[in-house]
Amino acid sequence: MSGPPLHTADSTQPNSDVALIEVLPQHRFDEAPLWQYLQQHLDDFAGPAQLRQFQGGQSNPTYLIQTPTRKFVLRKKPPGKLLPSAHLVEREYRILHALPADQVPVPRARVLCEDPSIIGTPFYVMDHIDGRVITNVTLPNLTPAERRGIYTDYARVAAQLHAVDYRACGLADFGKPEGYVRRQLERWSKQYLASKSDDNADMDALMAWLGAHLPANDETAIVHGDYRIGNTILHATEPRIIAVLDWELATLGHPLSDLAYACMYYRIPPGELGSGGLAGIDIAALGIPNEAEFLALYCKYSGRERIADWPFFLSFACFRMAAITQGVYARALQGNAADQRAIQYGEHAKAFAAAGRAMTQRAD
């Protein structure tokens, strides 16, 4: 979800933003039952094992498991009272297990444990992948050619995900095939109101505008729900994506919601809203395609002739981020957020709501 990504990359890779820390006090648990469980259910697991936590990510706590011969990644639900339908690690595991590896690069899901008695909450374990995680959308310390290559692959992977036959890979019931945008508007409005900490006129106006301007055309594909550069693992040396991470919000939905989410950062200034955006930056000098070029790349790889209802989907992306970051802030106030920086996300929620409302005003 929002904020720095939920990493499975290797912190030793050059240019990677990954940081490993000792397990946060609020996310500690008795490790002995975990090691015993993995010994019984994971064929290539053999202790002794060390557990550390990935710094970053504001939703499901994520840990590196290191043994003398292997590395694995564990994702679990956070402790404490959770919002309805949030933190569904079971759904993450299911889609990682179902997606065809020759179409969408994802870590291999290894084992799901739905028994909360082992470590306090359900969890799953997946393979660790060596690579780079770069949260800054300007891709610092890379060459212009490398940046263009990564953004080109970013568009290609999105198009390939949206082209997956969800029925053929057993995901026909992963979400409802119609009415995604309306349901998402209702869901995140409820989530926002449930985690609301103070009044926000921009968010109120944004929710009202979206409700009055729902697109007439509906499409259905597997959507990631949080598709951005920071939720990918890049090859250690080559400008290409080798894994897409953080599938907590994945469902069946409108593919343009993913595309708008990815393009939202073209409208956000640098240094704001987490790692910042690309607005006002000379991205041509950096080698990064502009928004129109990125949309053209997506159309090329998806076979799409045009992008309809673009102002709506951009505003919708900002709305979702405002709701998500407000939820992060609410968890920070409760003391069970996955990252110590989560207390800053109240301001991020306000900024995303303001950006979304500004887009609606331009669209009008």
Which of 148, 144, 162 has the alpha carbon at shortest distance from 244? 162
266-280 pLDDT, tens digit per residue, is: 988 887 555 678 989
Among 79-83, 119-123, 183-187, name the one with the lowest average pLDDT.
Answer: 79-83
Helix 255-263, helix 291-302: angle, nearest 10: 150
How far apart, in Å, are the Cα atoms of 268 and each of 5, 30, 272, 278, 347? 18, 42, 7, 6, 14
What are the residue boundaries of the structural domains of the chain, listed by start?
20-127, 144-363
Top-confidence residue, 209 or 363: 209
Residue 122 near residue 77, CB atoms below 8 Å: yes
Predicted TM-score (pTM) of this structure: 0.85
How far apart, in Å, are the Cα atoms of 333 and each of 120, 153, 295, 326, 349? 21, 38, 38, 11, 14
Tell me which fold the domain 20-127 belongs to.
Phosphorylase Kinase; domain 1 (3.30.200)
82-106 pLDDT, tens digit per residue, is: 544 555 789 999 999 999 989 999 9
Across all residues in the chain, what is the average pLDDT?
Answer: 87
How far apart, in Å, are the Cα atoms of 112 and each of 34, 58, 116, 252? 12, 21, 11, 22
Residue 25 near residue 56, CB atoms below 8 Å: no
Q: For residue 50, give the H/E element and its range.
A: strand 50-54
CATH of 144-363, one of 3.40.50.2000, 3.90.1200.10, 3.30.360.10, 3.40.47.10: 3.90.1200.10
* Largest separation between any pair of C-alpha atoms in the chain: 61
292-336 pLDDT, tens digit per residue, is: 999 999 999 999 999 999 999 999 999 999 998 888 888 777 776
Give the phi and the psi of residue 213 in degrees, each rounded to 5.
-130, 35
pLDDT at 212 exceeding the cut of 80:
yes
